[in-house]
Structure 1
Amino acid sequence: MRWLPKGYGGERRSAEEVKREGWREQGLLVVSPTDPRLTWPERELVRQLGEKLYGGRRLPTEQRHG
């Protein structure tokens, strides 16, 4: 019988579960500006907040030179 430390083995949580728990337990919000559950004004607000706090987004290398 193998005993693994907590967090090893078992089922992996989905990204949505991690984001939900982060919000509920830590007050952290992780949201994509392309999330289809948001309206256009909500997506625009997320984009503007991201740019204000962290600067503009970088395009992947293949898109930058294409």
Structure 2
Amino acid sequence: MMGMRFTPKGYGGHRRDTEQVKRDGWNEEGLFAVMLDDHRLTWPEREPRRQLGERLYGKREREMRHG
């Protein structure tokens, strides 16, 4: 007799780190996720992404409270 599963197939086990989730999203779905404070980005790389985020989703709550 097989043991009962308490989680659906594909759940549990090894968890991917955040960077792997981002890589997989890019490779599999064409999704692009970046943190604006990523140290690998320069200001000229970061600023247009911030502006695009604001255009698509509005100002971030944190920025609205502080400025």
Instruction: Give the TM-score category using the shorter length.
Output: 0.7 to 0.9
Q: SS of 2:61's equivalent?
A: coil
Structure 1 segments unaligned to the other structure (5+ residues): none
Cα deviations by residue, 1:17-52 (Å, 9 ceiling, x for unpaired): 111000011000011111111111111111111011
Of 1, 10, 13 in structure 1, the residue corresponding to residue 13 of structure 2 is 10
**Computing the radius of gyration over CA atoms, which structure comes out larger, 1 or 2?**
2
Q: Take 1:52 and 1:9, find their aligned partners in 2: how far apart are those partners? A: 37
Which residue matches 2:52?
A: 49
TM-score (norm: length of structure 2): 0.76
List 4+ stretches of structure 1 deviating above 2 A.
1-6
Unaligned runs of 5+ in 2: none
RMSD between aligned alpha carbons?
2.2
* Aligned residue pairs, count: 62
Which residue of 27, 31, 35 maps to 1:28? 31
Length-normalised TM-score, structure 1: 0.77
Percent identity over the alignment is: 64
